[in-house]
Structure 1
Amino acid sequence: MEPKPKKYVRIEIQTNSSSHHVCFKCRKQFRKPVDALVSLSHTGEVLETRVYDGNLKTYSCPQCAQPMTHLGKNFRPPPQDDIEGWEVARRLSDAGFKFGYTSQGSTKRLRDVSAFIERNRRKSEGEQLLDKWKAADK
Structure 2
Amino acid sequence: MGHCKTSYVCLPCRASYKQPYDSWRERRCPRCARVMIHAGSAFAPPPRRDKAAWRTLTLLLNAGVGFHKTCCGGPGYRPRELREARAWLARRRPTHSL
The verdict on a shared fold, with TM-score over 0.5 as the criterion, is yes
> What's the CA shift for 1:113?
1.3
Please tell me the root mean square deviation across aligned C-alpha atoms, in Å.
1.8
Match of 1:22 in 2: 9
Match of 2:52 in 1: 84
Q: In structure 1, what residue type is equivalent to 2:16?
A: Q
Gaps of 5+ in 1: 1-14, 36-54, 128-138
Alpha-carbon separation, structure 2, partners of 1:120 and 1:106: 12
Alpha-carbon separation, structure 1, partners of 2:20 and 2:56: 25
Equivalent positions of 1:56-135 (< 5 A) are 56-102=24-70, 103-121=75-93, 123=94
How many equivalent pairs are there? 92
Q: In structure 1, what residue type is equivalent to 2:56?
A: V
Could you list the per-position Cα deviations for residues 67-114 of structure 1 after superposition, in whole angstroms to 9, with x for gaps in the alignment? 111100001100000111111111001111000025430111112111
Structure richer in strand, relative to its length: 1
| Aligned-partner SS, 1:113 | helix
TM-score where L is the length of structure 2 = 0.83
Gaps of 5+ in 2: none
Instruction: Verify: 1:33 aligned to 2:20, yes or no.
Output: yes
Give runs of ≥4 in structure 1 deviating > 6 Å: none
| Aligned-partner SS, 1:92 | helix
Match of 1:47 in 2: none
TM-score where L is the length of structure 1 = 0.61
Structure having the higher Rg: 1
> What's the CA shift for 1:29?
0.4
